């Protein structure tokens, strides 16, 4: 298990998340997508629409992860300041990307034309390339291993689709879930022991209350599918030896 682990960080930009007005969906969406690319989402920050806060977050997280993603703040209005913040963090200027301009001209041809506000969506940090947006007009932006994406989840999803298979990663993390109607506090020692005995796995314990009863699912994660399977089997054996009924796949 000495293979390289690739990591990514996400900076979610937007007062609407911090005010509670909007429920974020991009953390879970990006995390799931990254898993398939063999990249681990290592940390997330949610920051306000404040340039200094964005610059600080992307600089710190971009500096210690293989990939950096941002969501939000790339629209046409005054509160959309992500591009300026990214450019400042990278120490480059902001330019109009000719291809982005052409895309917007075409998109708005039948929608009232390309106004000055809409042209803001063609602004990119100098040296950037574009991420295709198959849903609405304005593209996402790629600056090396930094990816600047939309805040609206289904537009973000389209941009991730466009990136699928293009980012270098390691082996995807696979997981095996088992679970049952057992209080996690009753079998905590078994979880701890099995995790400690098996190299290269982590075991998460996720309790729930359902139908008036307590239960828990145990998720064994590893980059080696055989290791995950063997560990889940051993955990099942130990739980059954302790008189617990658990089910493969969880409950």
195 binds a copy of itself (CB under 8 A): yes
Torsion-angle region of 173 (φ positive above 0: left; ψ -120 to 50: alpha; else: beta): beta
Coil, strand or helix at 30: helix
Q: State the DSSP code for 38.
A: T
Which of residues 25 and 101 has its CB atom nearest to a copy of itself in the complex? 25
Look at residues 93, 161, 162 and name the one whose alpha carbon lies nearest to residue 128: 93
184 binds a copy of itself (CB under 8 A): yes
Secondary element (H or E) of residue 73 = none
140 binds a copy of itself (CB under 8 A): no
How many residues touch a copy of itself (CB under 8 A)?
Answer: 67
Looking from the CA of 25 toward its CB, the CA atoms found within 13 Å total: 9
Neighbours of 240 (CB within 10 A): 12
Which of residues 76 and 229 has its CB atom nearest to a copy of itself in the complex? 76
Question: Of residues 4, 64, 134, 192, which one binds a copy of itself by CB under 8 A?
Answer: 192
Smallest separation, CB 44 to a copy of itself (Å):
4
Which of residues 92 and 190 has its CB atom nearest to a copy of itself in the complex? 190
Smallest separation, CB 17 to a copy of itself (Å):
7
Question: Which listed range, 87-95, 157-165, 185-193, 235-243, lies at the site for a copy of itself (CB under 8 A)?
Answer: 185-193
> How far apart are alpha carbons 201 and 241 in whole angstroms?
22
Please state, in angstroms and as integers, the Cα–Cα distance from residue 228 to each residue in 37, 77, 173, 236, following that order.
18, 48, 10, 12
Smallest separation, CB 19 to a copy of itself (Å):
6
Residues 107-126 that bind a copy of itself (CB under 8 A): 111-112, 115-118, 120-121
> How far apart are alpha carbons 181 and 194 in whole angstroms?
19
Which residues are at the interface with a copy of itself (CB under 8 A)? 12, 15-25, 27-32, 34-35, 40-49, 53, 75-79, 111-112, 115-118, 120-121, 136, 152, 173, 175, 183-186, 188-189, 191-192, 195, 202-209, 219, 221
């Amino acid at each position: 298990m000495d293979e390289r682990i690739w990591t990514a960080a996400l900076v979610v930009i937007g007062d609407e998340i911090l005010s509670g007005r909007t429920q974020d969906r991009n953390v879970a969406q990006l995390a799931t997508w990254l898993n398939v690319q063999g990249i681990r989402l290592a940390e997330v920050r949610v920051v306000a629409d404040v340039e200094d806060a964005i610059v600080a977050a992307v600089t710190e997280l971009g500096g210690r992860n293989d990939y950096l993603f941002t969501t939000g703040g790339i629209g046409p209005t005054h509160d959309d300041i992500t591009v300026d913040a990214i450019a400042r963090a990278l120490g480059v200027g902001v330019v109009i990307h000719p291809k982005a301009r052409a895309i917007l001209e075409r998109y708005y041809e039948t929608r009232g034309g390309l106004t000055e506000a809409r042209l803001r969506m063609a602004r990119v940090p100098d040296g950037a390339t574009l991420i295709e947006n198959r849903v609405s007009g304005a593209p996402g932006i790629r600056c090396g291993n930094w990816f600047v994406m939309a805040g609206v989840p289904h537009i973000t999803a389209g941009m991730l689709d466009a990136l699928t298979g293009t980012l270098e990663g390691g082996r995807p993390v696979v997981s095996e879930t088992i679970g049952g109607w057992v209080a996690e506090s009753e079998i905590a020692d078994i979880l701890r022991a099995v995790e400690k005995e098996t190299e290269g796995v982590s075991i998460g314990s996720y309790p729930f209350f359902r139908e008036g009863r307590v239960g828990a699912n145990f998720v064994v994660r590893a980059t080696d599918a055989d290791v995950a399977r063997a560990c889940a089997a051993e955990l099942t054996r130990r739980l059954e030896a302790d008189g617990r009924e658990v089910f493969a796949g969880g409950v």
